Amino acid sequence: MKSWLIDPAALPHAAPPGGIAEGGLWSLLLWLGVSLLTAAVGVLLFTRWRPWRPLKKCLIVSLLLHLWMVLGLSAVSIPRAVAPKGPQELCITLEDTLPEAQRGRHEPPGKTTRGGGSLALRVAGVAPVPPPAEPKPHLAPLETALVETRQQATSEASQPWRETAAREPPQAAGPPGPRLVQPAALVPQLTNRPENAEPALATAGPTDQWPRRPAQPAESGSITTGPPAQPLPSTDTAVPVSAEAAEESRPPDTPGRSTHKGLEPLSTTVARETPGHGSRADPGQSASQSDAEGGRHSIPAPYSWRIAPDRSEVARRFGASEESEKAVDRALDWLAGNQDPDGRWNPRHHGAGDERFELGRDRQGAGTRADTGITGLALLAFAGRGNTHQRGPYAATVQKGVKFLLDVQAPDGNLAGQAAPYEFMYCHGIATLALSEIVGLSGDAQLRGPLASAVAYTVASQDPWGGGWRYRPGEPGDTSQLGWQLLALRSAELAGIAVPRSTWEGAARYLATVSAGTHGGLAAYRPGERATRTMTAEALVCRQLLGLWPTHPAAREAGDYLLGELPGEGAPNRYYWYYATMAMYQLQGTHWELWNRALQRTLLATQRRDAPFAGSWDPTTRWDGYGGRVYATALATLCLEAYYRFMPPTGADRPGQSPAVH
């Protein structure tokens, strides 16, 4: 609000009315005339005028009355505004100075949108500014890391976002990718949330085996972060990229893209060690290994079997075989031999982007530009055997892959590289998951900053009302995206990066909207759709991460449903097998025994043995066309590493045994 001193004399004033200034005489004449007229009408009623038609009499009387009224009104004096002497203060609000189109619009009472926000605010993309809130203690590590990351960020555009038309020559860098509203927005803000959107987390069992989160009572005043103000291009209007343009548009090492260019080499020593190097970890304890600085790093308990000296024995006890372990060896050899010199696994070199219109939808050849996502999957396969950039027989391979991810990370933290809309959040989530596991296994302090930045981007990209993730940051989510993002966040927590509790609460809220079945164990792709086995498997993994114990009725219901389509039955779907393998391994008992037997039979029979594809799997199952041969091989390898990739629940120490009831 601003004030100006204005001379009242300069303001316009009413001019004196024309005509008579004094109306007293006219008023007297008016009333006198009305009286005479009334008397005359009364007299005429008893004279010859009485027989006249009533209509004529009324007309004459009306004309006379209106005439007298006009004369009377002309005698009314309009007071003249008197200009005050001296300057007066005039207050004008800021809204008075705005163009009409920019002034606030107020919705009628009760007119709200999903999440309780004003429709005007939602459409404009502006969130109400909450009162300052005291920082949450458990967010301190993340916020500290973000401050350090922001200080390193450059002032240029965050991420070369490109949507190249089929006949348009590729550019060195395109429009910027999705960015957060501002760096400060990475720190969560208090927002209003629907009162009825707080589903309770599942009762948790022990948390020292599977990387599940313990259930805790909901806190009041939970924290959520809003979606970015700049969404990605619409997935409904994405322009397909030709094979030639895609090949020419490999993500360049653009100066200023990454905030981590100044990092020292990832490891001062790259050792080629046997996977069994390290001490045998107790199921509830953490293993230790040397880090690059020569200190000791405590490996999170869920990863400890990856580096156990008796890993093969453990694997056989939980269903692995000599042939399955040899298949993993062949797969890792093939992946290592097909890495590009710059560290990526190039999807365009291995059949990615083959549009097969899955579920009847054109995804514009998604996968063609998914360099970081495919690279992340390959790195996960190596990490599943305990390899990092500091240890293991594939340390050099992992080092190059991690360096590629750091080189393409944008200043806002996203790891999607130059991915197109349909693959953007998949790529970011998978790459973040890979980086999280490598940090958890190695403890490399140099990677904590980039990882914290990537986690912050994931948190900020969550739909603040529905709790899920979608192709574009802030969109209402789907279950397929949820699995990758939650796996990445939970692995980041194991690596020491704090994740806001509200993020987990939002995920539980989303899962409640896609649940189905008698006990809520089944799940759909999106709210309102029918449940499928693929989404049930992924949702079961998500629920296990949130604390669902294997003996819960919802977990048993989901497991029974998945047994209705084992590997080798129905349409082959490696994506389904990947999530179902993780979920069934945690259930153990008959569920795991039946699933594992069918899984090995199918995967071992389909692995290629002939050069140049020896050790890989053909991209022939559902969704393989988008990711190509590296995608298919990495997922199959992760399935065969399930026996030691994560530890099973306490009480299940041999195949066929169900976890103890807690």
pLDDT confidence bin for 342, thresholds 50/70/90: very high
Residue with tokens 């302090």: 445
For residue 120, what are its two tokens?
């005007």
Is 90 exceeded by the pLDDT of residue 152? no
pLDDT confidence bin for 222, thresholds 50/70/90: very low
Is 70 exceeded by the pLDDT of residue 252? no
Residue 404, phi then psi, degrees to nearest 5: -60, -45
Instruction: Quickly list DSSP for 442-462.
Output: H--GGGHHHHHHHHHHHHHHS
pLDDT confidence bin for 259, thresholds 50/70/90: very low
Distance CA 654, CA 318 (A): 5
pLDDT confidence bin for 69, thresholds 50/70/90: confident
User: In this structure, are residues 634 and 525 in contact, taking their beta carbons and an 8 Å threshold?
Assistant: no
Distance CA 84, CA 88 (A): 8
Please state which of the ranges 3-17, 302-316, 320-334 shows the lowest mean pLDDT: 3-17
For residue 117, what are its two tokens?
């926000």
User: In this structure, are residues 444 and 289 in contact, taking their beta carbons and an 8 Å threshold?
Assistant: no
Please state which of the ranges 168-182, 255-269, 401-415, 622-636 shows the lowest mean pLDDT: 168-182
Sorted by sequence, the CB contacts under 8 Å of residue 477 that are 6+ apart come out as 462, 463, 466, 467, 468, 469, 470, 510, 526
More confident site: 26 or 247: 26
Instruction: Note the pLDDT tens digit of each residue in 507-526.
Output: 999 999 999 999 999 999 99
Beta bridge partners of 351: none
Distance CA 327, CA 480 (A): 28
Average the pLDDT over 54-79 and give the result: 68
Average the pLDDT over 33-57 and give the result: 67
Please state which of the ranges 147-151, 202-206, 291-295, 394-398 shows the lowest mean pLDDT: 202-206
Q: What integer pLDDT is reported at residue 360 of this predicted model?
A: 61
Is 50 exceeded by the pLDDT of residue 94? no
Q: What integer pLDDT is reported at residue 397 of this predicted model?
A: 98
Q: How crowded is the C-beta side of 189, counted as CA atoms within 13 Å?
A: 19
Q: What integer pLDDT is reported at residue 81 of this predicted model?
A: 46
pLDDT confidence bin for 542, thresholds 50/70/90: very high
Instruction: Note the pLDDT tens digit of each residue in 562-589.
Output: 999 999 998 999 999 999 999 999 999 9
Instruction: Note the pLDDT tens digit of each residue in 458-481.
Output: 999 999 999 999 999 999 999 999
User: In this structure, are residues 454 and 410 in contact, taking their beta carbons and an 8 Å threshold?
Assistant: no
Show the beta-strand stretches assigned E in 154-258. Answer: 189-190, 223-224
Q: What integer pLDDT is reported at residue 72 of this predicted model?
A: 65
For residue 307, what are its two tokens?
């580096």
Please state which of the ranges 290-294, 500-504, 547-551, 575-579 shows the lowest mean pLDDT: 290-294
Q: Helix or strand or coil: residue 420?
A: coil
Q: What integer pLDDT is reported at residue 351 of this predicted model?
A: 73
Average the pLDDT over 70-76 and give the result: 64
pLDDT over 90 percentage in the chain = 47
Q: What integer pLDDT is reported at residue 210 of this predicted model?
A: 54
Tell whether omega for the bond before 194 is within 30 degrees of 0, i.e. cis: no
Is 80 exceeded by the pLDDT of residue 615? yes
More confident site: 146 or 479: 479
For residue 626, what are its two tokens?
């988008």
Distance CA 466, CA 186 (A): 19
Average the pLDDT over 617-633 and give the result: 87
Instruction: Note the pLDDT tens digit of each residue in 159-212.
Output: 333 333 333 333 333 333 333 333 333 333 323 333 333 333 333 333 445 565
Residue with tokens 């992760």: 638
Distance CA 395, CA 561 (A): 40
Beta bridge partners of 296: 290
- What is the enclosing helix (H) or strand (E) of 5? strand 2-6
**Domains defined along the chain, listed by start:** 263-645 (1.50.10.20)
> How far is residue 646 from each of residues 253, 302, 470, 542, 555, measured CA to CA in Å?
35, 5, 27, 14, 18
Q: What integer pLDDT is reported at residue 484 of this predicted model?
A: 98
- What is the enclosing helix (H) or strand (E) of 516? strand 515-516
> pTM for the full model?
0.61
More confident site: 385 or 292: 385
Q: What integer pLDDT is reported at residue 44 of this predicted model?
A: 66
Average pLDDT, whole number, for the chain?
71
Nearest to 231 by CA among 160, 171, 162, 180: 180
